Amino acid sequence: MTTERKISRFFNLTDSNWMKHANPWSVGTRYTVLPLIIIAFWSRIWLGWWFLIPAALSISWIFLNPVMFCKPKSTKNWASKAVMGERVYLNRDKVKIPPVHKTVLLPLLNIISSIGMGIAIWAIVEYSIWGAVIGTVLAYLGKSWYLDRMVWLYEDMKENHQEYLDWEY
């Protein structure tokens, strides 16, 4: 079982929920997660222990976001294809992906995102606006590039696998 499949189970991404997550609104609003968490934890200086309320809400958004939107009217867009590509990638232990997609780039992009997250966490502790900005930019740069590679993967795989092609409408 791939790590991505374990993560998708943790987020309750069933077939139906994957399609909800393929809604461009889900993908787009997912980019609000890190800034909301940063602001929520920074609010501890103004709210004291009451900061736990916005912190809990912002962390809840991580879990609610992928499943709270309805199935998209169309999946013929970048955001939907990125999510469908993630599904293809997590399924690579069952359906082989082309060698061109098995590069060091994907782990590298996840490392870039992780470094960005680390900087953002440091920025939360130190109240560093520049750390928060740089961390968020790095995290989202790595994630956005990763998603773009998932679109490419989906486009390469859909014509040879009816299940994948059926996701597009």
Give me the pLDDT at residue 6, please.
82
Give me the pLDDT at residue 2, please.
75
- Range of the structural domain that residue 48 is part of: 3-166
**The dihedral of CA 149, 89, 156, 19: what is its sign?**
negative
Give me the pLDDT at residue 38, please.
96
Give me the pLDDT at residue 105, please.
87
Give me the pLDDT at residue 129, please.
96
Domain count, the chain: 1
pTM for the model: 0.88
Phi-psi map region of 127: left, alpha, beta (phi>0 left; psi -120 to 50 alpha)? left
Work out the angle at residue 101's Cα, subtended by the Cα atoms of residues 98 and 104, and round it to the nearest 5 degrees. Answer: 140
Percent of the chain past pLDDT 90, that is, above it, reads 79
pLDDT in tens, 111-142: 999 999 999 999 999 999 999 999 999 999 99
Q: Which residues of the chain have pLDDT under 70?
A: none
